Amino acid sequence: SQELEQSPQSLIVQEGKNLTINCTSSKTLYGLYWYKQKYGEGLIFLMMLQKGGEEKSHEKITAKLDEKKQQSSLHITASQPSHAGIYLCGADMNRDDKIIFGKGTRLHILP
Amino acid sequence: DAGVIQSPRHEVTEMGQEVTLRCKPISGHDYLFWYRQTMMRGLELLIYFNNNVPIDDSGMPEDRFSAKMPNASFSTLKIQPSEPRDSAVYFCASSFWDRGGDEQFFGPGTRLTVL
């Protein structure tokens, strides 16, 4: 079974609309990472959350960590075509140096 | 800094051939990671190094896969012999651990096709 589940797997959103992507862990989270991957390219770091209740924002992207629920959400406000891509969450579950990644959420933005 | 550099960007080979993927991490980073990405399995960690020493290779699928890091600025992932099911995008990433966390910087990947 997948240790890190992302939902939805795929998302199609009209430009200008808001959207939320979720990442749920089967284990305690010691660190949660969000990355974006454009099709055919490498991963780009967005932000990292370490403490329960922590919330970070970068431009129109906000991520929150709910430590009790072992869950993180990524929210995009007023989506733009540049937001299209694959969003992956990664987690440190064992307090080691490894990041376990979810399978990603494919985001498409309709003009 | 040029970021993490991987070569080749694309590799097409025939089943049974040896394949070598190369990675140059960001200067000063002390961790190096090799990942494999497929549609079916997503992004999987194969092996990682700390200060050039392999720490965890539990993700390496079979003995056909081997990885080395002879110095702080170079690592290789070798597949011998290659099989069609090895077709995937292979990423190298590096990081520098500090109290603020350990963001991994990814290379552009090598797209491997084994015929």
In this predicted model, what pLDDT tens digit does every residue of A93-102 receive, in sequence order?
Answer: 877 778 899 9
Q: Which amino acid is at A68?
A: K
Whether A91 and A4 have beta carbons less than 8 Å apart is answered as yes
Q: CB of B105 within 8 A of CB of B96?
A: no
Q: What is the mean pLDDT of residues A29-51?
A: 89
Q: How many CA atoms lie within 13 A of B83 on its CB side?
A: 6
For residues A8-15, average pLDDT: 96
User: HSE (CB half, 13 Å, CA atoms) of A9?
Assistant: 4
Location of structure tokens 């959207």: A19
Chain A contact residues (CB < 8 Å to B): 31, 33, 35, 40-45, 48, 50, 88, 96-104
With a cut of 50, list the residues of chain B below it in pLDDT: none
Give the pLDDT of residue A2. Answer: 67
Task: Say whether the peptide bond before residue B70 is cis (omega within 30 degrees of 0).
Answer: no
Contacts with A96 from chain B: Cβ below 8 Å: 56
Q: Residues of B with CB below 8 A from A103's CB?
A: 42-43
- Nearby residues of A108 by Cβ (< 8 Å), 6 or more positions away: A10, A11, A12, A13, A84
Distance, in Å, from the CA atom of A64 to the CA atom of A22, rounded to the nearest integer, reads 10
More confident residue, A2 or A52: A52
Asked whether residue A91 carries a pLDDT value surpassing 80, the answer given is yes
In the prediction, which pLDDT does B1 show? 64
Q: Is the pLDDT at A30 greater than 90, yes or no? A: no
Distance from CA of B63 to the nearest CA of A (A): 21
Rounded Cα distance between B54 and A105, Å, is 31
Is it true that the peptide bond before B54 is cis, omega within 30 degrees of 0?
Answer: no
pLDDT for A6 equals: 95
Position A97 scores a pLDDT of 74
